Copies of this chain bind each other. A is one copy, B any other.
């Protein structure tokens, strides 16, 4: 492995000139630059990013903490982040935070702190004030995706609002027996996404003066989770809802599969609406509120790099609310038995 000193020697210049020539910072004559570059390629020289980081204090590496990888929304966000970072010449170091508190502590107290990352993106993780403060004390820019975090810029969709919108869509179609199948209200990791979606749902019902006694089921945020609830809820034709607002498209799809299996016609006997814009939604004719997680990831990177590269730049607005698109397909329709 050749080092800068070798390159300098071959090119017949000093280390400092070689460094300037290769990094493009500072004055170097064209001829010298060429000689250095030739020497570098001849030797197959590549800078040691460790050495460079040590002196500059910047690693060109961003840490990403994320609770799941194998779930559409998260994978999509991650891909968006990865592409944007690579394009900007940054590395991405991945930390998956399970519900394990010890592991979480280790990631924050040990991994993220060692001057190894320049900044952190936190995806759908409700950082504690202590965690935020620890990272900020290190002067590391921090951006959140998927929920609001006090004191740091973050971006997400408006969970209360989309839930309200989805529910209003069902209400406007004449549905009254509406159920929300969503996530665990008390889950720690996912911000308050689940409870916010429930809130929007109930607000819409309340505003419409609709009272539903059995209005919620908790499901795993997956197709299997939706399927299991679907089978459980849709069996009895006398009690089953005429419309379901699912907490995400995976759940909605699971419910759809269960309904089809039970011979329940969608949207004839049951309307279903989801949230996400999952690629499978189209195949199942699912009406959904589409968001673009990949774009969210890219946007977060943009905010971060802006802070990193113009240290003077004020940190961006506290919280950005991103748009969703109501995509109506064939899974929602007017209630058939128009009379209640």
Contacts and interface: CB of A to CB of B under 8 A. Distances in A.
Contacts of A70: 72, 75-76, 79
A48 interface: yes
When all copies of this chain in the complex are counted, the total is 2
Interface stretch (A88-96, A240-248, A268-276): A88-96
Interface stretch (A113-121, A159-167, A206-214): A113-121
A50 B115 contact: yes
A83 B96 contact: yes
Interface stretch (A4-12, A51-59, A321-329): A51-59
A232 interface: no
A93 B93 contact: yes
B75 A1 contact: no
Contact of A93 (B61, B106, B279): B61
A114 to B, nearest CB: 4
Interface in A87-139: 91-96, 103, 106-107, 110-111, 113-116, 138
Given A46-B113, A46-B114, A51-B54, A283 B72 contact: no
B94 A93 contact: yes
A149 interface: no
A83 B95 CA distance: 9
A138 to B, nearest CB: 7
A46 B112 CA distance: 10
A13 interface: no
A188 B42 CA distance: 30
Interface in A34-85: 46-51, 53-54, 59, 61, 69-70, 72, 75-76, 78-79, 82-83
A138 B75 contact: no
Given A94-B93, A114-B47, A283 B227 contact: yes
Contacts of A72: 70
Given A78-B69, A224-B280, A279-B224, A115 B48 contact: yes
A336 interface: no
A262 interface: no
21 contacts: A48-B54, A48-B115, A49-B114, A49-B115, A50-B53, A50-B54, A50-B59, A50-B114, A50-B115, A51-B54, A61-B116, A69-B79, A69-B82, A70-B75, A86-B107, A92-B93, A92-B94, A93-B93, A223-B280, A224-B280, A227-B283
Interface of A: 1, 46-51, 53-54, 59, 61, 69-70, 72, 75-76, 78-79, 82-83, 86, 91-96, 103, 106-107, 110-111, 113-116, 138, 222-224, 227, 254, 257, 260-261, 279-280, 282-284
Given A75-B75, A86-B103, A257-B284, 11 more contacts: A1-B115, A46-B113, A48-B114, A50-B53, A50-B114, A69-B69, A86-B107, A86-B111, A91-B111, A91-B116, A223-B283
